[in-house]
Amino acid sequence: MNDTLSPEKSINLLHCLNELNDDSIVKEVQHHLSLGHLSKVNLSPAQWSALVFILLSSEADLDEFDLRKYSASEEALLQLLPVVKACKKAQLGGCNLTERSSEALSSILSSQSSRLRELDMSDNNLQDSGVKLLCVGLGSPHCMLETLRLSGCQITGTGFTSLDTAVRSNPSYLKELDLSYNHPGDSGMKLLSDQKKDPHVKLDILCVEPQGVQWMRPGLRKCKCVFDLLAVFTSFFHTLY
């Protein structure tokens, strides 16, 4: 399983070991996963392919996938897309994702064979362009996503318009939508207000507050708000005493 082995040969080797009931490599990889070692190394294409095979063929529970256990990066996500497609819940928050990831995940949401029901992409720099790509899948009649979290993704009124269109195109499944720490503006807030009144939209939970600050960087806005609040309290007590 070294760097010189092609992905095809890696998978063939794992198939052979599987036929021989030899699960030594599977156990070794699972052991490294439990220790968090894979988040600290750069894997070759062959090793990524082997990891995908092991995750999909092992008896491990795939109900929840957390990208941070492997590598909090866009490259890792693109390598592990088959695993995301096979799981029910994907935790991708704070993993430096861009519109490339949105486009790839959109294809998963559009797939009839996808098991994905909960997707968290909070604190990534998706911006309106990334959200627009994601909405292609979200609005697909095959999409069965029930929970979508996009908190702190630098989304403005334009992105809110894309989300509104997608939700109305496929209103049957999505029940929870978190858009806090973004920048909807008056137009975005009006769209959400109208959405609440639409009897066809099944949303039970819609989070839009607090709204973010335009210049804040992805991943830091919630901490910034906490520090601002602490500063207010500190100033208040200094005034008292």
Per residue in 207-238, pLDDT (tens digit) is: 888 765 433 344 544 444 444 444 544 454 45
Quickly count: other Cβ atoms within 10 Å of residue 41's Cβ. Answer: 9
Is 161 within 8 Å of 187 (Cβ atoms)? yes
Distances, alpha carbon 216 to alpha carbons 73, 96, 173, 184, in Å: 21, 15, 32, 15
Rounded-to-integer distance, Cα 198 and Cα 226, Å: 34
Per residue in 95-147, pLDDT (tens digit) is: 999 999 999 999 999 999 999 999 999 999 999 999 999 999 999 999 999 99
Per residue in 10-61, pLDDT (tens digit) is: 667 777 877 888 877 767 766 766 666 566 667 777 778 778 887 887 655 6
Per residue in 63-79, pLDDT (tens digit) is: 899 998 888 899 989 99
Please name each of the domains of the chain with its CATH number: 1-60 (no CATH), 62-240 (3.80.10.10)
